[in-house]
């Protein structure tokens, strides 16, 4: 019977030790990351990851919870296996480095041996020379092997440090009680998590479907593995200052951390993921969702496991949109034919680095501006090599004034030859620019052999052209400028 009790108690102890750091979710902003960790109300203390300031502690509860006697103490790890292993590897590296230095000194001493004529005979000189040569060679070989071992030790140490980059942890002491099945979370900032966020954009040109994936590479180096957690990825910076703080008298006393109530719906929703009522060790398939609060929007990935020190690829959204595909020629600049897609998103995407694919073929990488919800947006997917554009300057004249003439007239005219070398009909938009007059005495007149499709106030002109396969067209564009002549 005693054996059974011992087994059960050991299971309970191991479960308590395992559950000491029970991370439920992460809130990742552009400038900060927060850990949301579940507290066991039957205990009076819990370990927090990294060095946490008392004033940064926030409690989040779904119902009525009472918390008192709160304190935070920062300590150094001393006997956990990962810290001990890191310390052991650092010691091995130091010893190996010292050994290499010692062997180098031996080589230096052997190389500095001098022979005096009267002290040794020729036979001794040859024997000693042979001996020192062999010793120096053997020591160089030894240094080579030691340096290989040292390189290997440094690589293994780097992997260990990648799993836990800090020896400091914080202990949170508290008294807490919750009614019913309520769960209590503690939220605090962390510097042990890094992320590299990006979009993957792929266009299916045949089906005219645009797929946008919102992804991140996330690495956490806390020394603990996070299992089946939620990750809230916010598209903006974390900021506390939303209104002036309420004036309160200042008393010299122990300040209790802020207890966040369920009624603070927006803040709770934005700063902490929904809490699971039951913890399970079963692997659940990852999922993702898009969420909107009163004023903000964020992406959420659920059931994500982050192994310590391992770069994890996490998907936060995967959406498809119908597009209008066309070619746009930047006549005002390089005169290249760029593949362009227009679409309307049902989500808000922040500006972010993006990888572009066209029919699953990698096109390139660029930083895109914010894509607004329910507004027309455009993306470019590189140059269309099947559209050939030639731009020739056919007139460049400047008329000088004579005697009574008080104006200078300048005329520029270009000829475009656009060829569709593909086997599909293409819609091509030529974008050109006409100078704008900022003075009433400066007159600008457009020259063009076809009518523009659209003219904007900033001088941007659009010409829409449809070309059948293996066909071409020509277009003339230019302008005349008349301005006062000043001697």
CA 392 – CA 389 distance, rounded (Å): 10
Q: Report pLDDT for 163.
A: 74
Residue among 86, 90, 91 at smallest CA distance from 165:
86
3-state SS of the chain: helix, strand, coil percent to 5?
20, 45, 35
Q: How far is CA 371 from the centre of its chain?
A: 17
CA-angle at 229, arms to 223 and 231, nearest 5°: 100
Tokens of 481: 């400028």
Tokens of 172: 């949170």
Q: How far is CA 420 from the centre of its chain?
A: 39
Tokens of 316: 């936060």
CA 61 – CA 272 distance, rounded (Å): 10
Q: Report pLDDT for 361.
A: 96
* pLDDT tens digits for range 328-343: 999 999 999 999 999 9
CA 58 – CA 187 distance, rounded (Å): 5
DSSP-assigned beta bridge partners for residue 201:
212, 356
CA 257 – CA 69 distance, rounded (Å): 10
Do 35 and 190 touch, CB atoms closer than 8 A?
A: yes
Q: How far is CA 303 from the centre of its chain?
A: 20
Q: Order the strands of the 407-420 sheet from edge to edge.
A: 387-399, 407-420, 471-484, 443-448
Q: How far is CA 138 from the centre of its chain?
A: 49
Torsion of CA 361, 366, 372, 377, to 10 degrees: -60
Question: What does R_g of the chain's alpha carbons equal in angstroms?
Answer: 36
- Residue 449: helix, strand or coil by DSSP? coil
Strands 297-306 and 287-292: antiparallel
Terminal-to-terminal C-alpha distance of the chain = 113
Q: How far is CA 478 from the centre of its chain?
A: 45
Q: Report pLDDT for 402.
A: 62
Residue numbers in the chain where pLDDT is lower than 50: 1-19, 119, 253-254, 262-280
Tokens of 178: 């919750």
* pLDDT tens digits for range 223-281: 888 999 999 999 888 875 556 666 676 655 445 555 555 444 444 444 444 433 334 45
CA 246 – CA 233 distance, rounded (Å): 30
CATH number of 387-484: 2.60.40
CA 454 – CA 328 distance, rounded (Å): 14
Q: Report pLDDT for 391.
A: 97
Continuous segment of H or E residues that includes residue 35:
strand 33-39
Residue among 112, 110, 180 at smallest CA distance from 142:
110
Cβ atoms within 10 Å of 351's Cβ, excluding its own: 11
Q: Report pLDDT for 71.
A: 93
Residue among 34, 371, 24, 349 at smallest CA distance from 197:
349
Residue among 439, 423, 429 at smallest CA distance from 460:
429
Tokens 């000829």 sit on residue? 415
Backbone angles phi, psi at 282, to 5 degrees: -75, 140
């Amino acid at each position: 019977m005693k054996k059974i009790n011992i087994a059960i108690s050991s299971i309970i102890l191991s479960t308590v030790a395992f559950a000491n750091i029970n991370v439920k979710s992460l809130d990742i902003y552009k400038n900060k990351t927060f850990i949301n960790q579940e507290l066991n109300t039957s205990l009076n203390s819990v370990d927090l990851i990294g060095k946490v300031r008392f004033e940064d502690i926030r409690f989040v509860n779904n119902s009525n919870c009472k918390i008192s006697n709160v304190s935070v103490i920062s300590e150094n790890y001393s006997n956990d296996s990962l810290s001990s292993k890191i310390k052991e590897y650092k010691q091995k590296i130091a010893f190996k480095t010292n050994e290499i230095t010692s062997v180098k000194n031996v080589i230096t001493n052997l190389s500095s041996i001098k022979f005096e004529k009267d002290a040794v005979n020729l036979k001794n000189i040859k024997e000693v020379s042979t001996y020192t040569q062999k010793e120096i060679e053997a020591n160089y070989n030894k240094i080579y092997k030691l340096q290989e071992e040292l390189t290997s030790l440094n690589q293994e140490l780097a992997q260990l440090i990648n799993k836990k980059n800090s020896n400091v942890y914080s202990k949170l002491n508290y008294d807490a009680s919750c009614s019913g099945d309520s769960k209590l979370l503690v939220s605090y900032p962390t510097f042990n998590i890094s992320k590299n966020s990006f979009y993957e954009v792929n266009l299916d040109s045949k089906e005219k479907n645009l797929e946008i994936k919102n992804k991140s590479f996330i690495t956490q180096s806390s020394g603990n593995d996070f299992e089946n957690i939620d990750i809230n990825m916010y598209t903006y910076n974390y900021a506390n200052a939303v209104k002036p703080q309420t004036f309160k008298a200042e008393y010299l006393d122990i300040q209790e951390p802020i207890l966040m109530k369920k009624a603070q719906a927006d803040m709770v929703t934005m700063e902490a993921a929904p809490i699971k009522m039951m913890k399970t060790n079963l692997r659940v398939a990852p999922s993702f969702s898009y969420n909107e609060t009163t004023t903000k929007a964020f992406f959420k990935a659920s059931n994500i496991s982050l192994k310590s020190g391992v770069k994890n690829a996490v998907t936060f959204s995967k959406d498809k949109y119908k597009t209008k595909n066309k070619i746009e020629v930047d006549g005002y600049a390089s005169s290249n034919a760029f593949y362009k897609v227009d679409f309307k998103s049902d989500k808000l995407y922040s500006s972010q680095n993006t990888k572009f694919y066209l029919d699953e073929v990698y096109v390139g990488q660029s930083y895109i501006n914010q894509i607004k919800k329910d507004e027309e947006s455009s993306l470019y997917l590189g140059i269309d090599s099947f559209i050939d554009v030639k731009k020739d300057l056919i007139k460049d004249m400047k008329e000088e004034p004579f005697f009574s003439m008080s104006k200078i007239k300048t005329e520029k005219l270009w000829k475009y030859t656009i060829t569709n070398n593909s086997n599909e009909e293409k819609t091509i938009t030529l974008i050109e620019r006409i100078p704008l007059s900022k003075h009433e005495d400066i007159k600008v007149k457009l020259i063009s052999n076809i009518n523009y499709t659209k003219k904007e106030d900033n001088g941007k002109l659009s010409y829409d052209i449809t070309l059948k396969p293996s066909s071409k067209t020509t277009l003339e564009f230019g302008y005349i400028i008349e301005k006062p002549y000043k001697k």
